[in-house]
A = this chain, B = another copy of it.
Amino acid sequence: MQARRKVYVEGPRPDVRVPFAEVELTGDNPPVRLYDTSGPGSDPDTGLPPLRGPWIAERGDVAPVRGGGSPLAGTRPTQLAYARAGRVTPEMEFVAVREGVPASVVRDEIAAGRAVLPANVNHPESEPMIIGSRFLVKVNANIGTSAVTSSIAEEVDKLTWATRWGADTVMDLSTGKRIHETREAIVRNSAVPIGTVPIYQALEKVGGDPVKLSWEVFRETVIEQAEQGVDYMTVHAGVLLPYVPLAVDRVTGIVSRGGSIMAAWCLAHHEENFLYTNFAELCELLARYDVTFSLGDGLRPGSIADANDEAQFAELRTLGELTTVAWEHDVQVMIEGPGHVPMHKIKENVDLQQELCHQAPFYTLGPLTTDIAPAYDHITSAIGAAMIGMFGTAMLCYVTPKEHLGLPDRDDVKAGVIAYKIAAHAADLAKGHPGAQAWDDALSKARFEFRWEDQFNLALDPDTARAYHDATLPAEPAKTAHFCSMCGPKFCSMKITQELKEYAARGMRDKSQEFVDSGGRVYLPQA
């Protein structure tokens, strides 16, 4: 029995219809509504319907194109600009319903720069979502073709698969020959915001030689991607020439691809990073499409030994300065973070980022809490991700079991997303997010009452929970049995306590003798 179905909750206007996954429970247990990232499915031929098309059009600050819009000169159609002007957009209304908070809170958090709502005017297919420490912790999944392996169809499938399991945003990190086509297929089929790292495509355009990169090539690439509808872009504008030597004595140097490309350019030209020197113009470009900055941490640590070092924090200070510049241009900003960090150094990362970057949302890759477990880095990093989420990180970039070893396939994407949904939800619980614990309570109550099907249907991954149960006790009656295979029918502690509970409810002291008289059995005798 699959008891999950998509329901829509209407906002203050009828075209704000917010999806939830509703889990029907047995008996008189009320259904549970879960946040739903899966979108309306995908259509390989036409892409998704342009949900936000009317909202973008009615604001009148972009010229309509394909349901989205082409920027009008001088306008800044960003959610940040609207929020600062006191406007609550339909996108904010959507998010408010989704998060269960007043729309004014959404607007105010965006206006203060503490949250971003990535929503390119040319990606009308997206269902609005928000990234900020006052909201549910979000998860990003990376996909993308590489020079070595994989096809466009596979990547679109990974997109759909990742969002089915709960990815809140997806980054297309494609390299190789067909970057533009891959991205087009992904954006048109995505109900979640899409992020990219434009320097990868810019590098393709100059034949793969970082020394030949230029502001002009980069600028052209950003416009191309913004026109396509990319919602946020990683820009390594904080890798400054004087910081590069700080990374030379590290155990693992520079491990960010974008960071190493920019470092190579800076050294070869002995000039300052052109992303930094042209940052104001870049802001103007991004503002025209409402592309959100994801200020990249090109000098993030790639090993436990390199965590929290001067290279990392020097760059972070620069990202803080750039945040202010972006905000002056009404551009939304989030800040990328590490990487590899031992547990006792995690909190400092959040505290410093919040201080230096004026509370802009933090978006971290893991961090991995040890280097010793390649093939299990979804776990080494879920530990760090849960902790950094608890300390205030707004979005967690997943790590799959293939990290450091190869490109993730479909199974790896799922393993990564699940591990990160666990981390994000554990953080929501620890932050006391209103409503987060209701999910846990509903599942635990189902478990305690031996409502097996309810327990499976409420699980983050119902398929695997059901399969694991059935592997030991495949018979259908076992799913209604008042025991499970760990203990068998005689020793089940849940069963014993349930009977204790009933017993206690009848008044423990007085009923003690009656209990013994009745045979004193608190479990079912084994057949």
Contacts and interface: CB of A to CB of B under 8 A. Distances in A.
Q: Which of A342, A469, A512 has the most CB of B within 10 A?
A: A342
Contacts of A147: 487-491, 526
B376 A422 contact: yes
Nearest to A406: B472
B304 A380 contact: no
Interface in A300-350: 302-305, 340, 342-344
A518 to B, nearest CB: 10
A376 B496 contact: no
A283 interface: no
A69 to B, nearest CB: 33
A209 interface: yes
A512 B248 contact: no
B447 A406 contact: no
Interface in A214-267: 244-245, 247-248, 251-257, 259-261, 263-264, 267
Given A444-B251, A444-B302, A270 B374 contact: no
A5 interface: no
A298 to B, nearest CB: 9
Given A422-B380, A515-B267, A485 B440 contact: no
B373 A460 contact: yes
A445 B386 CA distance: 27
Given A263-B497, A383-B386, A440 B484 contact: no
A390 interface: yes
Q: Which of A376, A437, A526 has the most CB of B within 10 A?
A: A376
Contacts of A397: none
Contact of A494 (B253, B369, B467, B522): B253
B251 A344 contact: no
A501 B387 contact: no
B263 A426 contact: no
Interface of A: 146-149, 175-176, 200, 203, 208-211, 244-245, 247-248, 251-257, 259-261, 263-264, 267-270, 302-305, 340, 342-344, 369-376, 378-380, 382-383, 386-387, 390, 401-402, 404-407, 409, 418-419, 421-423, 425-427, 429-432, 437, 439-441, 443-445, 447-448, 455-456, 458-461, 464-465, 467-469, 471-473, 484-494, 496-501, 503-505, 508-509, 512, 515-516, 520-523, 525-526
19 contacts: A147-B491, A149-B472, A245-B504, A245-B508, A260-B497, A264-B520, A267-B504, A268-B512, A269-B512, A304-B429, A343-B386, A371-B440, A371-B447, A372-B439, A372-B440, A383-B422, A401-B468, A406-B471, A406-B486
